[in-house]
A and B are shown apart, each in its own frame.
Chain A
């Protein structure tokens, strides 16, 4: 699947919350990288936050399950939890699937 500029009016703003170097977190980062590279090219901003380092953010961003990918823009806001191993669901969550 290639990027569709008409679908993405805004740049994707993503934020991945992880906890240090837990296996889930490592997998999530790797999986997400793969997906983004394959489907988004450079059309996104990704921030990776280690919630251990900034625990205040956990309450602010309603973080419960980790790892969590927060799609802040474009709306609607989506929270993708898990190690991003289910590519279809990740794409659906990011609004990239058909």
Chain B
């Protein structure tokens, strides 16, 4: 069904039926170019559904933007009342009237003044209308609401015949007409106006479910043209009507490989060192008080620092509250807000229905053109719809954001029971990256452990990191894998201290051993010295003996020679030879 409607809105380009733009945001997309030109269109709905405003916008936009003057025939309100009513939307009817772009004709039928005395026709209305159209060369006509004729006049047969003639006549004049009609019991309009208007019927609806009202619009019929058949939520705010066209679901969005930092260096580190992909969707889930908003604020702050606009949709806290709280962790968002880089939009989820929230987000994005948006938290939105409704809304939102290349960060609250991880289940498959912060309860304290559940298309850490929030900000600390398992918080710190002590002791012990060895070696060194000197003295002794022997030998030889010389009486030479024998 979803894909069908997109193809319908998309393939309406080759238009055979001439159409006129309404200028109502979003409607021209659904109808593929506006209302059928030169034909009547019926707008029906309950009281307060926005019929008159719809019709007025058609006329005013025609006069202001498309240079098509218009005649507004009011059967209910006086011209002054109408002027006052639409002034709040910024339309100055008097100016348009003066510029001959608009003509308001108040048709007043006072039942008590009228007496029917026989056959009549509605020529008076024809003449008035004809005169009004001619006087400003009108291309657009609104009859709001022609059903009042039925209450003013009693001869239904005449009215019906005349209405048929009126619409034929208007078609002949080639003006595009909007007829409004009150919704009847079981019929589109109370008086069965749809019988006369067979070209285009649009129904406006104002439904209240769970005390929350949502306005919806549906094209019941559009002869000769493709159109979206679904109910489209629409919004009436200070800029008038805007319809939210369901964005394409063809999954043909362009993607970016550009990366954006999370604002937390250690988290970037976990995501391949660079952070998320630009234009991706990120879900941060966790139990209460796990720092989801802090993480979102970091991301917003980082976006602003890069010079990229960011819109923060807060569904739980007021902007002041967030700013104050974030100051405590060293994130000062106030300058960003002052610069206009960060725009806060805080609303209670119960302010209006889901579709309306989507519409508001859509409008804000169109207005401010941010690069990053934050929804904090999406879980609160479940209170105004069911999980499946929320999912369908988020699908469309993500789709739209992807098309606009806007990075989005959702936060989601998960309950501790684990049974109720609804939003995770509903949304996690849609998002590109999913971080979850879990409580790790151990050793009488709660600590936060951050996991990257998934991160499409990039290398990411499989490690649990302890998520520490301090005065300086957010930080991811490696958890300690001790013999008792994962240690966090004070247990981690205690363990780290223990390790440090161990280290100190070890180094001390090592030092002692070293010194002992040094001493021993010194001792041995000394011993070696002793031995060496002993050895030297022994060697010297030996040398001495040897020298003495030599000396003795020499002396003895000399003595012998002397003696021999003496004996031979001067023949000392022969004497020496004999001694040798």
Contacts and interface: CB of A to CB of B under 8 A. Distances in A.
Q: State whether these chains interact.
A: yes
Interface of A: 17, 19, 22, 24, 27-28, 31, 51-52, 55-56, 58-59, 62-69, 76-86, 89-90, 92-93
A22 B123 contact: yes
Interface on chain A toward B: helix, strand, loop, or mixed SS?
mixed
Contacts of B120: 24, 65-68, 81-83
B419 interface: no
A27 B125 CA distance: 20
Looking at B108, B117, B152, B153, the one whose CB has the most chain A CB atoms below 10 A away is B117
Interface in B115-143: 115-125, 127-128, 130-132
Interface size class of B (residues with CB under 8 A): 20 to 34
Nearest to A90: B117
B459 to A, nearest CB: 75
A79 B118 contact: no
Contact of B153 (A17, A56, A65, A84): A65
Contact of A58 (B113, B118, B131): B131
A38 B244 CA distance: 67
B131 to A, nearest CB: 4
B398 interface: no
Shortest 5 CB-CB contacts between residues of A and residues of B:
A82-B118, A55-B131, A63-B124, A85-B118, A93-B115
A53 B150 CA distance: 28
B113 A77 contact: yes
B118 A84 contact: yes
A49 to B, nearest CB: 11
B360 interface: no
Given A80-B116, A85-B117, 17 more contacts: A19-B124, A22-B121, A24-B121, A55-B128, A58-B128, A62-B108, A62-B109, A64-B107, A64-B125, A65-B120, A65-B122, A79-B110, A79-B115, A82-B120, A83-B119, A90-B115, A93-B117
B116 A89 contact: yes
A27 B117 CA distance: 12
Contacts of A68: 120, 124
B475 interface: no
Contacts of A92: 115
Contacts of A67: 120
Interface of B: 105, 107-110, 113-125, 127-128, 130-132, 149, 152-153
Given A55-B130, A58-B128, A59-B132, A66 B121 contact: yes
Contacts of B118: 27-28, 31, 82-86
Nearest to A84: B117
B127 A80 contact: no
Nearest to A63: B124
B119 A63 contact: no
A56 B117 CA distance: 25
Contacts of A86: 116-118
Contacts of B124: 17, 19, 51, 58, 63-66, 68
Contacts of A59: 105, 128, 131-132
Given A51-B124, A58-B128, A76-B113, A24 B105 contact: no
Nearest to A81: B120
A81 B127 contact: no
Contacts of A27: 118-119
B231 to A, nearest CB: 36
A80 B115 contact: yes
Nearest to A17: B124
A56 B131 contact: yes
A64 B151 CA distance: 13
A68 B120 CA distance: 8
A19 B120 CA distance: 11
Contacts of B116: 80-82, 86, 89
Looking at A17, A67, A81, A83, the one whose CB has the most chain B CB atoms below 10 A away is A81
Looking at A28, A82, A86, the one whose CB has the most chain B CB atoms below 10 A away is A82
A80 to B, nearest CB: 5
Contact of A63 (B110, B128, B130): B128
A85 B119 contact: yes
Contacts of B114: 78-81
A81 B113 contact: no
Nearest to A52: B127
Contacts of A22: 121, 123
Contacts of B122: 64-66
B123 A51 contact: yes
Nearest to A24: B119
Contacts of B117: 69, 80-86, 89-90, 93
A82 B119 contact: yes
A24 B128 CA distance: 18
Contacts of A84: 117-118
A94 to B, nearest CB: 9
